[in-house]
Structure 1
Amino acid sequence: MIVEVGAAHPLTELNPLWRRFHGIDRPTGPTAEEFLATLSELDIEPTTVRWRRQPEAEYATFAELTDVTRRRLCLPADAEPESATALRELGVDPDLPPDLGSSGRDLVTVSWLGRAGRLTAATRSTVPSLSRSLRVTSNPAGASNGSRRADGTVVEPARAVDVPLAVRLDFTEGKVWFVGGDEIMVVFSPEKIRDMGFKDITFLQ
């Protein structure tokens, strides 16, 4: 099993700006250390490699980064200049504007020997009552009869695919749920999964 996680929650990079503009001290976690501690509770002692991603531009322009960051900080449009100044003072390179809400540059690769397990997925078909299930249609060109090349020939017919919103992995040490969304959430408790709206008994057990 190989898992790559951020050293800290992606949005913690905005913490100094929340303090600067709103006087709010935001949480500093969750962190990779908490993930490792959870694995330890399951008697899993993984190999860890800590590394730093090379800087690269994640926005086309510094102005675009400034606009997105201002919105994330719940600031009005007229706070754009102050937001740009704050980003520069935070050390952001205008020539390589990063996404401060992504996984960050400090990463941890965690690996351990797995055991044969069973995979259970929750999709629209297996959890009909789940409002957040996801259906993806293979139809990027917008044509009702499928994707087409420039000359009009059909690459493949349009089709709908149920994509798992959540999966459960069963290991000897216990069960782990992975829930999709804006980010992947790792859940270790069936009670927490139930609280999130997953009611299917077979998926909880």
Structure 2
Amino acid sequence: MNLVHALSAALLLLPTVPAVAGSISERTTYFMVQGTTLDELNNSFGRGGPLLGGGERHGGKTAVTFTPAFDYAERQGGCSVKSASVRLNVVTTLPKWSPPAGATREMTILWRTMRDEIATHESRHAAIAKTWQARMENEIRSLPPRATCADMKRVADMAFRGDLAEHDRAQRNFDRVESSVADTRVKRRIDKNLGQFVLR
């Protein structure tokens, strides 16, 4: 099973919608996984996991939406940013498994290790989005004044769109790095957790 989960990020630009500076909304949804063996769990991921880019299903998903609200003010013959806030909405989708009667203790340990790995991976995506939320607000607030408010708005919108692209690249870079180490790390954790169970 490939335990690396690509990010699906919905990037929404709605400058006219008000938002509280730094506001963050987070929600977690779950999809059910079934099976009593590792192969059955893997197959269940493939059937019911969240759809990401390329039409593939994965073990987890983090969807983020940035909604900006920028205000401008005329000052001394020019126009500057009066306020800048970006609302961040994060929806994380994680797997949920209720061990059936035939599930072994070893299978439960395997599941918990996989579940924790998926949850940690998706939380890192959320953390990246939160970092970029603050960067977006700070960058817009620090933009120098322009001759007119129309020019100021155009520059701010352009800067915001550039930050969205940089955020997306940061998320992809994280997945790229994870793809080279995640499977080895998970195998090591499984061996450790199973070894502790055997020693009891």
Superposition TM-score, scaled by structure 2 size: 0.24
Higher relative contact order at CA 8 Å, sep ≥6: structure 1 or structure 2?
A: 2
> Which structure features the higher share of helix residues?
2
Superposition TM-score, scaled by structure 1 size: 0.23
